[in-house]
Structures are given as structure tokens and as C-alpha cells.
A and B are shown apart, each in its own frame.
Chain A
Amino acid sequence: MTRRRMTGPAAGWLLGAGLACAALGCQVPLGGTPGQVFVAEAGGTGGLAVRLQAGRQVQALDGVVEKVAFSLTGTRVPGTPSIEVPRARFSGGKAVVEFGGLLAGSVRVTALLFDSDNLRLGSATADATIAPDRLTQLALIVAADFASASFSVDTENLVPPPSSLSVAFEPISPRAWQPAAPMAVDRAAFSAVPIGAAIWAVGGDPGDQLERYDPASGRWTPFQISNSNKVRRPIGSAAALRNKIVVVGRDIEVGQNETAAPFFFDPEGLDAFSHLEPAPFGVLPSSLGDVKEYRAAVGVAAADDRLYMVGGAGKRAVGTNQVFVNFPTLEVLSAQTAHWSELAAMPTARGAPGAVILSRKLYVAGGSRWTGTTATDPVQGRLTGVTHTTAVLAATDSFEVYDIATDRWTALAALPAARYGLALVASGGRLYAIGGADSNGAATTRVDSFDPATGAWRAEPPLLEPRAFLAAAALPGGKLLAAGGFGADKRARRSAEIFNTGGAQ
């Protein structure tokens, strides 16, 4: 058995140092010298599949380690989710996982050890180069040296024991966003709607599909939308009402009622690629219903049998008198009456805000404002906007809250950075303002969180890539999902990422 050293010591076993474990108050048996074997071998078509073999005898697994997660990063490595190997999948101290579609180049292999509470116990990393001429078997052996808290990497040829594991997306490393499984299609200006345990990606003009994200498996499943030109390829904002997906704010600035009409999907009992028909909802007509204002880029949030539609943008014209309008309007759709009602107007009119409900309060953060010479909406006359020839779109940092109980608005501490097309998500009692675009239309990686108890914002780890008009949702276990959106190149994305907030702070 020949071994060739590839790189020197890279990083230590935190576990070996004993510090992480001491801090966590756990007991880890450190007897013996556990090792990790990483095997890389040729893939079937073009790329290189990397098999990571954990073990020989990983005695740490006999203790508190519940799972090991492997991830691979590198300049030519696609956004690869970590591969989790639960303890039960180890056989004789060994398990095999597989990364596919890799190209020759530098890679960094990271192994993370977690306990049953998903707390990270330790990690090991190894750098390796996958050479173009090494498209046969390649083995990386990571031998942990607990005494010096380091490890070394050697290579050897190994017979691969090929039993691939399914890809999972947990655990999430604390305090950093991690790649998640991408959606099937590029989406921007769409919504992530939680229903039950799943998250539905709705709209964004991707074609005729919705997609359902299952947090347990980390997978997206596409569903075909009914082939109806009334609901095809929607751009709009959506939320869940009585477990139905409600898409509203569909005006695309042409001022046609039919393009602005809300519609409904009932996702219950669907299999993949079932046709999803728009469903009537109560007695609400399939037309605009009694929505007061048709508009684009609204904020939407739902709670307690009610769906709130707030703000928005529109372009109204009579002849050549065209006015770009920012909407302060707040309307609510009641599932009980199937009618819209207008509530107290938001103090700061805006389009494309982040909106979320937490504890019977509707929070509205950021958004876009047309700035320019003030003019009155020539169509309905009750709102002001700016003349189209002077209009410039600007991001706002305004942050306001609507108290559902009292029908009153209150200004809160401004967003740390003005932006629009952001997502606002509640998790663990905090609000997370994710992504967005600045006044120049540049997408940002910025994430801030707000504590309603203290009224203060704080910066959070940034997204892995800039996203504007993304969709985001809270997942179980204090995690956040951020998907799609426009990137720095203003193209829609299909990629997604996950952040572990660590729960309530």
C-alpha cells in the first residue's frame, strides 16, 4: 500500500483539543486513534465523483457523536450541500458518501461531528488537488492526532465499497449560511409559502411549475400548474390562508384587472407533477374581487385566517399623464368572509418591502420608493406619486409596524441599510431582513436581525451570494431558507441556502 502525502496539517480536531467538548460539558471517549478515509474516484461522465469513507475505527462515534457531515468546497466545485452520515449508517466504523459532477482542481474536504442536539463537536479539514490525470481511484486518508490537535493527509488507492447515501442538508453549521439544494428553475420576484411542514416556491415567472421544499429531506419537488393563461407564470406575492396558496399583487404595471386578480392553489394531496388547478376560495370571485387597489410588488403576510397585502408600486396613466405611485395601502382578505377590507394606511408608502407577522403585529421593512416631482394618480385620484418623466427608484430604510389589535402604525428603528426586494422572516422571536437591492439596483448579501423586545437591529452573517427579490422562509429548528432572487448580474437564480439562527437569542 503506497501512500503519498498531499498536503500538510490543515486544521485541528476541535474535539481532540477537548475545548469544545469541555465547553459543552460532554464526555467523549478518545481512546485509540480514530481516522477518516476519504476516497475519490472517477465518475461516470466527465467529472470526478468523490467518495468519502469515514472510518477505519472511528471510536468517537461510539460516544456522543451522532453524525458526521462531509462537505466539499473549491473553485470548481458546484454548490454542494454537506452530506450527513448518521451514526446508524456507519457499518464497522465505515460509511461511504458520494459527491458527483466534480472537475479537476483544488478541493477542501470538511468533516463536522455533531451530537444528538445538532451541536457541533469538532471538525477536520483537508485540502487536496484533484488532478486531471488522476481520474482513477484516489484515496485521502485523514489521520487524526489528538495529542497535537492536528492531522495529516495521505493518499492511497483503495477498493471503494460503494454504497451511496442519500444527500441530506443537515446539520447546519452555526453562524454561517450554507448551500442548500437548488430549485428546479430560476426564480426571482416570487414567494416562499409555508404550509404544514413544507415550503412552496410560487411564481417568479419561471414557467408553469410550483416547487415544494421538504425541510426533512432537503429536497425540492416540482408541481405543474394548470395550463391556464390566467395563472400561468405569475409574478406576484403569495401567502397561505387556510392551507391554500394565495397569490396577490399580480399587476405588472399595465393596469389590467385580470392580470392583477388574486388566485388560489390548494396543494393538499398532490403527487409530483400533479396538475395544480387554481381553486375558488370561498365566495371570492375569480376577478379582482373587492381589492381596493391593483398594484405590483406588494408585501404579503398571513395569520389568524387573514391575509394582509401592504404597500406596492404602480404606474397609472391617462393619456400621457403618467404617474408612478408608491402605495401606503393596507388591505386584508378574511378567510371567513372572503372579502377584502381596507385598514389604516402605512405611514411610509413603498413597494417591494419585506413583510411578516409576529405576535399579531405586521412588520414592514425597507422597500422601494419612486422619487421625483409629486403628482396625483390620474386614474383613481386618491393617491400621490411622481411624474413618470422625473421618476427615480430609491431604496428606503423605513421600518414600521402595524398592530392588528389596534389598527395603528408605529415607526421602528430604521433598517441598518436601505434596500428593497428583501425578505423578512420571523424565527425564534427575531425578525430577519434578508438580501434585497440598494438604490442602484445592486443585489446584496446583507442580513440583519431585529429583536422586537429591545427594538434594536444587529448584523447577521451575510448570504453566500447576493439576492434581490428572493424568497425566504423559517424552517423548523431555528433555520432560515433563502432561495432564488436576482443575483449581482441581475439574472434570476435557482440556488438556495440555509442559515441556523441558533434559535431564540
Chain B
Amino acid sequence: MLPAAVPVTAPSVSLRDRAVPDLTAVGEGSAGGGALPAAASGGGGAVAGAKVVPGQLVVTTTGHVPPDLAGAGLSGASWVASASFGAQTTWLLEVAPGDTARASGLLARLPAVAAVAPNHLIEPMGEAPPTNDPLLPSQWSHGSDVSNVYGAWAVWDALPAGRRSDSTVAVIDWFPEKVHDDLNLLTGYWSAPTLTAGQPVATLGERSQDSDHGIAVSGVIGALKNNSLGAAGVAPGVPVLPIRVTDSNGNATDFNIIQSLQICGYYNRADSPYTNLSNAGAGPVRVVNMSLGASIAGVVATYDAALEFLRDRGILVLVAAGNNQGDGRVESPANNPLVAAVSASMQYQGFELLAPYSSRGDEIWVAGPGNMIWATGRGNTYKLFNGTSSATPFVAGVAALVNAVYGTGDASQATKAWTARVKNRLAQTATDLGPVGFDTGWGHGRVHALRAVTGNLP
């Protein structure tokens, strides 16, 4: 990669002309990655720390005459290139590999030498996490090489606060408690008690015996960012409406979910038959997250009325495809064509694979990062969250971003057409992984947060 050594023996050479291309070559080699593999630390394997070009030193001298190498005891070395800076010149010196330490010592003793250093390999700066959430550096899903949530945040942060708070995401799930310091959780509801028109809906109990699954889902969607706490969600601070799906025995059923969907459809809507489904601090439900399901052959048609009702109000329902239980098919209600089924990807040694446990089928709409995902946990804790359960709220977060960025908040955002636009946006801006085009594992691809909120919404 480096040009052959050209001894510099006289100060009359055109310093600038020669120096620039030579030094550029070194820079390109390092930025290109792997162009100088011999520079990697040998023997013990790659280790953290600076890498250098073997057999090269950078030397700064006073004046423009290179020191006499033979006289300095470096007869095997040669000056390769130079760059002058007023009264000083900085040189590139080649010595025998393994002789750089000795050469550095000898050169440093010369009166004309102002500085000697190895020729370090320079690399592109790593992606600095943009906020101070301590877990953010290992939120692999957020980087520009995956879904680029960081990039989408610039768009999200520039929105008027009212747009961000308008994109309410409902989480139909298991909730042991109603708060977490790192979440913008709205007052939640409990779907199991009978709903009666003209009456209030039961609110989320102070405590139940449920798992903290719903807390984790909520954190992936909207954990706050830049608050020195834990991780950050895809749409940080977006209002999350928790809806407890279990009955007092801890069971969740189709009908509990259907009642939960009804709560979502009427939340912050003028035609709500219930007296307490409103909150001025949030918008109507725009996105519903259901990280749940059961392995059932065929579509359960009794969901259709509820799902059509939500679809016609501009609400996109995202459902986890399933974690390969039973025969591995997409579970119910993810298999309902009125929802968008979400599969899960995983990081594997710098590459992205579909998680082996992710259920597959023609119903898959998109994939989300879904393995080793930092999420909020019970009692203000954080935990790693795996499965299509964690991929679905990631996609829900992106859908919330789309709603916030492109939504108007008026009646046009409460239509069947709007639901289709948001759903299509997730697919059309996704990163097509796996076989080219649609496939039964990745669907239309793994969602990409920045692209989803960039440009016009078709």
C-alpha cells in the first residue's frame, strides 16, 4: 500500500509536492480498514490501543535538511517523504520493522530533532452515542449501521412538543405496576372488568402479580433519553398507554385483548362511550403494541371487528409474530391480515441475522431488532429483553415517530388510508435483509428509523 521507499538525500527536493501524496496514502490505508493488516498487533491477537505502521517513524526537525542517518547509527533507514512547516520539517522515515524503538532513541538524541513518534494508524471515529443514557453504547439496534435511531432523534427532537405527545402508543400487556422513572407512562387501564357505556373504565391497579413484560415493552418504545438513566427508547418520552391484559387470575384471553383494543380505539376520542378515556397530556392512540399471542392454526375472526374499528381510526396495530413455539407458524393474532406482524433480528459477530426463534410466514410485515435489547424492568431496573416481544415495540416506536413527524393531528390522521400509509412506510423504508425482496422471515425488511422519518410520506 505504501509507496516504495525513496531516499531523500538533499534539501532541494520539492518537499510539499512529495509529502502530500505519501502522507495521504497512509491516511487512506488506515481509513480503508484492513489495508495494512500487518499493522495489527501480532501474536497475542488484536488488542485495544493504538496501531502503528511497522517500520515507520514520523520525525520533526528544525530546518529542512534531514539528519544524517548513517552518522546517527541508522544506516539501514531511509527518509521517504517530508512536509515543511515554516522553519520546521516533518519527515517520514522507514527503518527495519522491529527497529523502530532503537531508531526512536537514536533520533531523539540528535539536536535537530524536535519530535519522534511512531506512524500511527488513524481510524474513523466510532459512533459516539448522542446522549448520556449509560446503557446506550450497547443498544446495538440504535446505531447508523442498524436502524439509525440516533439519526431519527434529530428529527424527533426538532418537532413541536405537541407533535411528540400526540403519538400515543398503547401497550396491551402484563403490568405489575404503573410507573417507571424512565418512562412517560400515562394512566393505564385494566381491560378485564366489564366495560359499561357511560361508566369509567377500570384503571391499572396499583400492583398485580403480572410479570414486568409490559414495562419492558414500554421502555423499548419510549424510555427517556439524555436523563442519565438506563437505556433510551426509539421514541424517547412518547406517551405510553399501558393496558393490563390479564384478569384477576392472571389469565389473558382473546376477549381481554378485544376489550383492550376497544379502549385504544376510544382513547382521547370525542365519541368515547366511557367517561375516563381522556388525557390532555397525550393524543389519541396512534399505534398499538401487542407483544403477545398464541399458536393457533388459522385466523381468529372474532378479532376482525375490533381491528377494523382501529384501522379505520388511523391506528396501526403491531403484533409479535411469535418465538417459534409449536410448529413455528406466525401466531394469533399476528396472523390476522388487519395487523402488521413483526419478526426479530439479532446481532451476530457484527452481522445481522434473523433470530432463529423468530416465527416465519407470509404474514410477516417487517422485522425489528429483537435480541439483547435493553429495556426497562420492574422497580426502576433495566434488563435485557429478547424475542419478537422486544422487536415489536421497536417497530412500534418507529411507527410512533412516523405519526409524530407526518401526522396532522386532525381527522386525516384518523382514517383507514392513514393506517395504510404508516404501515407501508415501515415496509418501504426498511432495510431489505435476507433474500432480496419480501421473504417469510424478514417480511419487507428490518425497519430503519431514520429513513422512516426522512423525505415525504407517500
Which residues of A are at the interface with B, using a C-beta cutoff of 8 A?
186, 188-189, 205, 207-208, 227, 229, 232-235, 252-254, 259, 296-297, 313, 315, 317, 319-320, 322, 347-348, 350-352, 367-369, 371-372, 388-398, 411, 414, 416-418, 420-421, 437-442, 444, 468-469, 486, 490-492
Q: Could you count the A-B residue pairs with CB atoms below 8 Å apart for me: how many are there?
A: 148
* Interface residue B135 (Cβ < 8 Å from any Cβ of A): yes
List of B residues within 8 angstroms of A391 by Cβ: 138
- A394–B436 Cα distance when bound, in Å, is 29
Residue of B with least CB distance to A420? B349
Tell me whether B356 and A186 are in contact (CB under 8 A).
no
Interface of chain A, helix or strand or loop or mixed?
loop
List of A residues within 8 angstroms of B349 by Cβ: 189, 296-297, 313, 351-352, 368, 393, 420-421, 437, 469
List of A residues within 8 angstroms of B134 by Cβ: 320, 389
- A30–B382 Cα distance when bound, in Å, is 81
B27-50, CB under 8 A of A: which get 1 and which 0?
000000110010010111111100
Could you tell me which residues of chain B, from 305 to 355, have a CB within 8 Å of some CB in chain A?
324-328, 346-355
Tell me whether A252 and B34 are in contact (CB under 8 A).
no
Tell me whether B382 and A188 are in contact (CB under 8 A).
no
Tell me whether A396 and B45 are in contact (CB under 8 A).
yes
List of B residues within 8 angstroms of A348 by Cβ: 44-45
* Interface residue B13 (Cβ < 8 Å from any Cβ of A): no
- A417–B48 Cα distance when bound, in Å, is 17
Number of interface residues of B (CB under 8 A): 47
- A304–B45 Cα distance when bound, in Å, is 30
* Interface residue B384 (Cβ < 8 Å from any Cβ of A): yes
- Complex partner residue of A252 from B126, B325, B371, B433, CB under 8 angstroms: B371
List of B residues within 8 angstroms of A207 by Cβ: 360
Tell me whether B348 and A232 are in contact (CB under 8 A).
no
Tell me whether B37 and A389 are in contact (CB under 8 A).
no
- A368–B350 Cα distance when bound, in Å, is 10
* Interface residue B55 (Cβ < 8 Å from any Cβ of A): no
- A95–B255 Cα distance when bound, in Å, is 70
List of A residues within 8 angstroms of B353 by Cβ: 188-189, 205, 235
Tell me whether A252 and B355 are in contact (CB under 8 A).
yes
Tell me whether A371 and B47 are in contact (CB under 8 A).
yes
- Complex partner residue of B230 from A320, A421, A442, CB under 8 angstroms: A320
Tell me whether A254 and B46 are in contact (CB under 8 A).
no
- Complex partner residue of B348 from A233, A234, A252, A396, CB under 8 angstroms: A252
B54-80, CB under 8 A of A: which get 1 and which 0?
000000000000000000000000000
Tell me whether B44 and A254 are in contact (CB under 8 A).
no
Given contacts A395-B46, A416-B37, A492-B434, 18 further A-B pairs with CB under 8 A are A205-B353, A229-B357, A233-B357, A252-B346, A252-B371, A253-B371, A254-B372, A254-B386, A259-B357, A296-B348, A348-B44, A371-B48, A388-B137, A392-B48, A396-B45, A411-B43, A438-B37, A444-B34
Distance in Å from the Cβ of B42 to the closest Cβ of chain A? 5
From B37, B328, B352, B372, residue with most partner A Cβ within 10 Å: B37
List of A residues within 8 angstroms of B325 by Cβ: 229
Tell me whether B33 and A371 are in contact (CB under 8 A).
no
Tell me whether B351 and A442 are in contact (CB under 8 A).
no
Distance in Å from the Cβ of A378 to the closest Cβ of chain B? 12
Knowing A252-B348, A348-B45, A469-B351, say if A438 contacts B328 (CB, 8 Å). Answer: no
Tell me whether B126 and A392 are in contact (CB under 8 A).
yes
List of B residues within 8 angstroms of A442 by Cβ: 33-34
- Complex partner residue of B351 from A208, A234, A313, A486, CB under 8 angstroms: A486
* Interface residue B383 (Cβ < 8 Å from any Cβ of A): yes
Distance in Å from the Cβ of B227 to the closest Cβ of chain A? 15
Which residues of B are at the interface with A, using a C-beta cutoff of 8 A?
33-34, 37, 40, 42-48, 126, 134-135, 137-138, 230, 324-328, 346-357, 360, 371-372, 374, 381-384, 386, 433-436
Tell me whether B381 and A319 are in contact (CB under 8 A).
yes
- A298–B135 Cα distance when bound, in Å, is 27
Knowing A320-B135, A391-B138, A440-B33, say if A189 contacts B40 (CB, 8 Å). Answer: no
- Complex partner residue of B371 from A189, A254, A390, CB under 8 angstroms: A254
Tell me whether B372 and A315 are in contact (CB under 8 A).
yes
Tell me whether B382 and A235 are in contact (CB under 8 A).
no
Distance in Å from the Cβ of A300 to the closest Cβ of chain B? 15
Of the A-B pairs whose beta carbons lie under 8 Å apart in the complex, a sample of 5, sorted by A's number, is A186-B435, A252-B371, A253-B348, A254-B386, A394-B48
Distance in Å from the Cβ of B49 to the closest Cβ of chain A? 8
Residue of A with least CB distance to B124? A440
- A442–B33 Cα distance when bound, in Å, is 9
List of B residues within 8 angstroms of A227 by Cβ: 327-328
List of A residues within 8 angstroms of B327 by Cβ: 227
List of B residues within 8 angstroms of A188 by Cβ: 351, 353
Tell me whether B372 and A235 are in contact (CB under 8 A).
no
Distance in Å from the Cβ of A457 to the closest Cβ of chain B? 12
List of B residues within 8 angstroms of A492 by Cβ: 434
- A347–B325 Cα distance when bound, in Å, is 40
List of A residues within 8 angstroms of B355 by Cβ: 252
Tell me whether B40 and A229 are in contact (CB under 8 A).
no
List of B residues within 8 angstroms of A232 by Cβ: 324, 328, 356
- A322–B373 Cα distance when bound, in Å, is 12
- A313–B42 Cα distance when bound, in Å, is 21
Tell me whether A468 and B346 are in contact (CB under 8 A).
no
Distance in Å from the Cβ of B43 to the closest Cβ of chain A? 6
- Complex partner residue of A229 from B34, B42, B328, B372, CB under 8 angstroms: B328
List of B residues within 8 angstroms of A297 by Cβ: 348-349
- A186–B442 Cα distance when bound, in Å, is 13
Tell me whether B351 and A414 are in contact (CB under 8 A).
no
Residue of B with least CB distance to A324? B138
List of B residues within 8 angstroms of A394 by Cβ: 46, 48
- Complex partner residue of A397 from B45, B137, B326, B354, CB under 8 angstroms: B45
Tell me whether B350 and A417 are in contact (CB under 8 A).
no
- Complex partner residue of A439 from B34, B324, B346, B386, CB under 8 angstroms: B34
List of A residues within 8 angstroms of B360 by Cβ: 207
List of B residues within 8 angstroms of A253 by Cβ: 346-348, 371-372
List of A residues within 8 angstroms of B356 by Cβ: 205, 232-235, 252, 259
Tell me whether B383 and A319 are in contact (CB under 8 A).
yes
List of B residues within 8 angstroms of A372 by Cβ: 48
Knowing A320-B230, A396-B46, say if A438 contacts B33 (CB, 8 Å). Answer: yes
Tell me whether A438 and B34 are in contact (CB under 8 A).
yes
Distance in Å from the Cβ of A28 to the closest Cβ of chain B? 45
List of B residues within 8 angstroms of A317 by Cβ: 384
Tell me whether A390 and B382 are in contact (CB under 8 A).
no
